[in-house]
Amino acid sequence: MKNLSTVILGILFFFITGFRLHAQNDKMKTEILEIIKGKKFNIGISVRNSKGVEIFAHNSNEKYKMYSVSKFFLALKVLHLIDNKTLLLNQDVSFAKSDLKAGLFSPLRDSNPEGITITLEKALYYIVNQSDNNVFDKLVDLSGGIESLNFYISSFTKNKNSFSMSALYRDKEGTIGNNVVTPNFSSLLLYKLMKNKIISVESKNILMPLLETSINNKRIQALVPKNLKSFHKGGTSDRVNNVLIASNDIGIVYINEKKDFFTIAVFISNSLEDDAVNDEVIAKITEITRSELINR
């Protein structure tokens, strides 16, 4: 009889817990959909909890133009090659004047227009933290080329349509938009990174500080309390006829000072909203998620 009571209590607990989580998911979904309601853009969102479960998805399997989010994926490839000793963190990477092309966003070129030699570790800083387009192209070449990068990142998913890279910044204007990814795969790869399933712990410890700050912290990180760690990589296009082609951010946010976190990927495309609205939407989606997960 005692065993039967225990079983019944267990079943009741399972259903009550499941109902509570379902209600919380519905609340989060309602709040997020209210934020994006009526906005003049297309948006894809994927959120995963610290167990890797996708707890919110909106157009999460659609492909979106990456722009500088692609630099996060390149950093993973470079660090993988460092892990297997193909590349060395302290090796030199030389930039001739011809490598530092005009017309591209390039802090390295702006401060060293005649060329410079830096370490690979410093080059990683320039692509991840400073989003340097010339350094991106150089590191793609150094790490085996665009096809090799595409093959490596695609190896982490069974859905080969969730990621595709075919263009460098030096290529014909506009082709960089051919590099696409799904929000679902982005949040999954962030989760795998957190679980040490992509690169070594040592390489992860190199990467994470580069993701803590960047040239734009107004999206995922904007409303996260300062006492909580968060990491991100954004991507932004130019406007064409007042239409912003892409305003993206992917990242990891801790919901407390312990080990609980979530991964999030938000891709906005073809936006007629101003930059502040796009940024605010991503920030609010992040904060809604964090607030809901605190109470679970």
Rounded to the nearest integer, the mean pLDDT of the chain is 93
Helix or strand run (H / E) with residue 236: strand 230-236
| CB hemisphere CA count around 133 (13 angstroms) | 19
Coil, strand or helix at 78: helix
9: left (phi over 0), alpha (psi -120 to 50) or beta: alpha
Instruction: Read off the DSSP letter of residue 68.
Output: G
Superfamily of domain 40-294: DD-peptidase/beta-lactamase superfamily (3.40.710.10)
Contact status, residue 42 vs residue 59, Cβ threshold 8 Å: yes
Task: Give the residue-averaged pLDDT of 210-218.
Answer: 88
Task: Please tell me the distance from the alpha carbon of residue 125 to that of residue 206, in angstroms, as a whole number.
Answer: 9
Answer for the pair 206, 194: CB distance below 8 angstroms, yes or no. Answer: no
Model pLDDT, residue 8: 60
Output the pTM of the full model.
0.91
- Confirm if 156 and 192 have CB atoms less than 8 A apart: yes
Pairwise CA distance, residues 173 & 276, whole Å: 26
Cβ atoms of 192 and 186 closer than 8 Å: no
pLDDT of res. 214: 80
103 — pLDDT class (breaks 50, 70, 90): very high
Residue 129 makes CB contacts below 8 A (sequence gap 6+) with: 210, 211, 213, 214, 215
Give the pLDDT mean for 233-241.
Answer: 95
CA–CA gap between residue 179 and residue 148 (Å, rounded): 14
3-state secondary structure of 214: coil
More confident: 14 or 215: 215
Q: Which DSSP helix (H) or strand (E) runs through 85? A: none
> Up-side HSE of residue 42: CA atoms within 13 Å toward CB?
12
Residues 59-74 have pLDDT tens digits of 999 999 999 999 999 9
Q: How far apart are CA 22 and CA 229, in angstroms?
A: 27
Res. 215 pLDDT band, cuts 50 70 90: confident
Q: What is the pLDDT of residues 2-59, one digit of tens each?
A: 556 555 655 555 544 444 444 557 899 999 999 999 999 999 999 999 999 999 999 9
pLDDT band at residue 258 under the 50/70/90 scheme:
confident
What DSSP line would sit under 29-66, residue for residue? HHHHHHHHTT-SSEEEEEEE-TTS-EEEEESTTS-EE-
Does the structure show a pLDDT above 60 at 107? yes
Phi, psi of 97 (to 5 degrees): -55, -35
pLDDT of residue 12: 54
Q: How many residues does this entry show for the chain? A: 296
d(CA 260, CA 271): 33
Give the pair of three-digit tokens for residue 245.
Answer: 């082609």
Using pLDDT thresholds of 50, 70 and 90, give the confidence band for residue 112: very high
Sign, Cα dihedral of 287, 41, 237, 152: positive
Answer whether residue 145 shows pLDDT above 80: yes
- What pLDDT sits at residue 213? 85
